[in-house]
Amino acid sequence: MNGEVPPLRDNFRGMKRSIAGALLIAFVLFSPARPALAHGGDGGANSDYEVVVTGYSGDATGVVVRSVDLGSRIELERTTAKEVIVTGYSAEPYLRLDSKGVWENFNSPAHYLNLDRFASKTPPESASADATPDWRLMSSGTSVRWHDHRTHWMSSTPREDVVAQPDVERVIFPANKVDLSIDGREASAIVKVTWLPPPNKTGWLMAISVLAALLIVGLVLSERLRRMVPVLAAIGALAALVGQGSSSVRMLLATAAVLIAAAALRSSRAQLSLVAAVGVAALSVARLEVFEHEFIQGVVAGGGQRIAISVALIISSSIVFAQIVAWLSPKPVPAAQPAE
């Protein structure tokens, strides 16, 4: 071999130092944080409250009632009933669905109390349980969604027992009622509200850190695995797209990362794969909220988003830190040529 030393053996010590440094950076980036408590059930991007319509009291034939928007709203669909009236908190007529569409009574106190999550707006004197209804047509459809204070915890702070033991499931309201009048028949939708413990963020991030560390080592030491970087970058970008929730801006950025990764896969240009990985890593770090709440808005459920973001973090961080290792590793020195 003319006195030449294989590059891997010649630089092994320097490579080990580089790997250790990259793994330290990865650990700092993904260091576990304490699970956060957030109400999150106000129609936002996340929630730790499960809101379920468990059934009906009375004869509810002709309607379907369900919880939507992570429990922030109730949806009522008129199917075979001719007229449905949703009553407000003072038993006043609040919403009406009939053959012409959906109507709202602007003299109902519920109209004003439902304008925000905490019923902070005081109804005017003209709005009372005894006032003549002021029906206004809202749509010509057969269904309506509204925020109803009977179906959620009315505070930004969880209940005391939840605060004391956030990892314990608690039934907040076992059987709250949303009262209805269906073709003159009295009925109610029964709603159950349950606090569900948020995911174990520490466990998720520790698992991500370990798997990312293993993949970094593999990318550094295996030439065969390094040749798969464009494929890995494409998989990571697709996973990031799945895990971006309901934000159109994040979805657009993730789509751009997918396109860059696809271009890298087609052209086998390592620089494009690295660009895609950096973008995916940034988007995924910005989505760590998926590890903090049980329910997350998005195309897929919260559990699916957690898996997707985990895959995106593992792959993108590994590609980035493996490249850092390559930059930091000492380059082999060419053997000196014998003097003539």
Please tell me whether residues 67 and 184 are part of one structural domain. yes
- 301: amino acid identity, one letter: A
Q: Are 82 and 65 in contact (CB under 8 A)?
A: no
Q: Are residues 203 and 315 in the same domain?
A: yes
Residues 315 and 185 occupy one common structural domain = no
Task: Point out the domain boundary residue: 180, 195, 210.
Answer: 195
Assigned domain for 225 exists: yes
- pLDDT tens for each residue of the chain, 340 residues long: 444 434 434 444 544 454 444 445 444 444 444 433 323 334 567 899 999 999 999 999 999 999 999 999 999 999 999 999 999 999 999 999 999 999 999 999 999 999 888 888 889 999 999 999 999 999 999 999 999 999 999 888 899 999 999 999 999 999 999 999 999 999 999 999 999 999 999 999 999 999 999 999 999 999 999 999 999 999 999 999 999 988 889 999 999 999 999 999 888 788 899 999 999 999 999 999 999 999 999 889 999 999 999 999 999 999 999 999 888 877 766 655 666 5
Give residue for tokens 């895609």. 276
Question: What is the count of structural domains for the chain?
Answer: 2
Looking at the fold, whether 53 and 102 belong to one and the same domain comes out as: yes
Task: Give, in order, the Cα–Cα distances in Å from 34 to each of 49, 167, 170, 281, 287.
Answer: 19, 12, 20, 21, 16
Pick from 338, 329, 246, 256: which is nearest to 295 by CA? 246
Q: For residue 246, is it within any domain? A: yes
Q: What is the pLDDT of residue 131?
A: 95
206 and 302 belong to one structural domain: yes
- Three-class DSSP category at 46: strand
CB 64 within 8 A of CB 53: no
Q: Within this chain, do residues 211 and 188 fall inside the same structural domain, yes or no? A: no
* Torsion, Cα of 10, 12, 18, 21 (10° steps): -150
Asked, for residue 96, whether it belongs to a domain, the answer is: yes
Half-sphere exposure of 310 (CA within 13 A, CB side): 18
Q: Is residue 264 part of a domain?
A: yes
Residue 41 lies in a domain: no
Instruction: Measure the CA–CA gap between 331 and 321, rounded to whole angstroms.
Output: 17
Domain end call among 195, 226, 242: 195
**To the nearest 5 percent, what fractions of the chain are helix, strand and coil?**
40, 20, 35
Domain containing 15: what range?
7-36+199-328
Of 172, 195, 218, at which residue does a domain stop? 195
Give the span between the Cα atoms of 253 and 239, in whole angstroms: 13
User: Both 264 and 296 in a single domain?
Assistant: yes
- Indicate yes or no: pTM above 0.85: no
Residues 204, 268 within the same domain: yes
The alpha helices in 74-142, defined as continuous H runs, are: 109-113
Residues 189 and 211 in one domain: no
Instruction: Give yes or no: residues 189 and 224 share one domain.
Output: no
Looking at the structure, tell me whether residues 168 and 231 fall in a common domain: no
In a domain, residue 111? The reply is yes
In-domain check, residue 53: yes
The answer to whether residues 175 and 232 belong to one domain is no
State the distance between the two ends of the chain, measured CA to CA, in whole angstroms: 20
Residue 1 covered by a domain: no
